[in-house]
Copies of this chain bind each other. A is one copy, B any other.
Amino acid sequence: MFEHQRHKPLRTLAQPRELVVVCAPLRSNINLSRIARAASCCGVERIVCTGRAKLDRRIARDGAETLTIEVHRTLPPVLAQMRTEGYRLVGLEQTTDSCDLHQYRFERKTALVLGNERTGLTPDLLQLLDDVVEIPVWGMPFSYNVATATAMTLYEYCRQYPNG
């Protein structure tokens, strides 16, 4: 009945993904690389990073070649620029005013902003955002790993925009 199919043909998008992943300086380039592979699989074309960002190709796989990776010194100027280009700036974080990802309706043109594994999204970044989404947590250790949470959020965005 079920037969494993390796390298099944990719789904096609009716238009390019207008989702950009934006990373505050992460502690771990392993997390960054996991995020890059997942984003590439989702058809994302651009990742904006900061700090000592460097992809591990054994983890990011083709994501390391297919994605445009931009490394910036700080995020506020990039976010300001993206806002003028019409992106909605959406953080992924547990905050006082986050929307539940289950209920959140993404705009097509979204910059998904991810925080550091330990410090999360810092106040200077949070104040620049339009919305913050969070994923419900029912058990310990209180929060998802950043790459895990990003995978869930990419999934939800793509569920809302299966054709781009």
Contacts and interface: CB of A to CB of B under 8 A. Distances in A.
Contacts of A59: 145
A3 B102 contact: no
A2 B1 CA distance: 50
Given A10-B142, A37-B144, A138-B10, A162 B3 contact: no
Contact of A141 (B42, B61, B158, B159): B61
23 contacts: A1-B97, A1-B126, A2-B95, A2-B97, A2-B98, A3-B123, A4-B95, A4-B121, A4-B123, A5-B95, A8-B137, A8-B142, A10-B137, A13-B138, A37-B144, A41-B137, A42-B137, A42-B138, A43-B138, A61-B140, A148-B151, A151-B155, A155-B156
Interface of A: 1-8, 10-13, 17, 34, 37-38, 40-44, 59, 61-63, 65-66, 91, 93-98, 102, 115, 120-123, 126-127, 129, 132, 134-145, 147-148, 151-152, 154-156, 158-159, 162, 164
